[in-house]
Every structure is written in structure tokens, then in C-alpha cells.
Amino acid sequence: MAAYWTPFDTWRLDASYSALRITPSVDAASLDARATLFDGAAPRRQWHARSTWWADARTQVHAAIYRAGALPQFLIPAYTRLDAGLEFRLPDGLTAALTGQNLLDRSHQEFSGVDSGVLSSSIPRSARVQLRWQY
């Protein structure tokens, strides 16, 4: 499910929720011994909420919170992530932005390479300053 609401011309709220349950039914003659493992490879529940506010014609403030359920197959716990940012539109197609990601924790793991042959990923807390020119 996803929805948005614009209470004012300068403020927009977005939210989404998803639920997933995989119930594998494997044929008894199947030679794929790992087929039943997929149920724990994706979070059962995820949601996010985002707020975007235009303070004026050149300034935008945004914040988003994300929640992802655990990945039991990969031993990844559930996590909550908060991102926030501020963007200024400057003259001549320039935009300056300050963004922070994963502000609640030093880092969180989103994927593990356990039994998959793929490298694990850990998302660190970060901040960035960006200058963008559009022509």
C-alpha cells in the first residue's frame, strides 16, 4: 500500500507499507534442496514515511523514516533508518544540498553473504554536501 497527502501546497507526506509471506510448496521429486529457504530471504514487513516541505520557492526540507523487518535466513535483525536533508536552489541552475543518511545508528546491515556467495552490505551513518548544476 502506498499513499500521499498534501495538507498544504508547500507540504507533502508520503507513506507506504508492504507485507510479504512466501510459502514454498516443493514437489517431492524436486532436486532443489534449497527451495524452501526463500521464506526468510526477504523482510515480511516494511514501511516508510516521508515528509517534504518547501519553505519557499528555493528551499526544500525533507525527512524520511524507514523500517525493515528481519531477514531470518541471513541472520539480519530488523532496523529503522532515518534520513534528512536540506536543499537550496541557487541562481543559474545550481542546487546545494546537505543530506544525512542512517542518522539513528552508526551502521546497520541490510544483507548478509551467509550461504549466498554474495558479499554482505553494511550501511554506515553518513552525511554529504552536494553541489549540482543543471543546464
* Per-residue model confidence as pLDDT tens digits over 49-77: 999 999 999 999 999 999 999 988 778 89
Domains in the chain, number: 1
Q: Residue 89 falls within a domain, yes or no?
A: yes
Confirm whether pTM is higher than 0.85: no
CA distances for 35 relative to 29, 116, 127, angstroms: 12, 13, 40
Grid cell 554482505 in the structure block, residue? 120
Domain that holds residue 78: 2-19+47-133
Q: Residue 24 falls within a domain, yes or no?
A: no
Contact at 8 Å (CB) between 112 and 71?
Answer: yes
What distance in Å separates the CA atoms of residue 69 and residue 118, rounded to the nearest whole number? 20
Q: Residue 30 falls within a domain, yes or no?
A: no
Closest Cα to residue 50, out of 21, 81, 72? 81
Please determine, for residue 36, whether its predicted confidence score (pLDDT) is greater than 70.
no
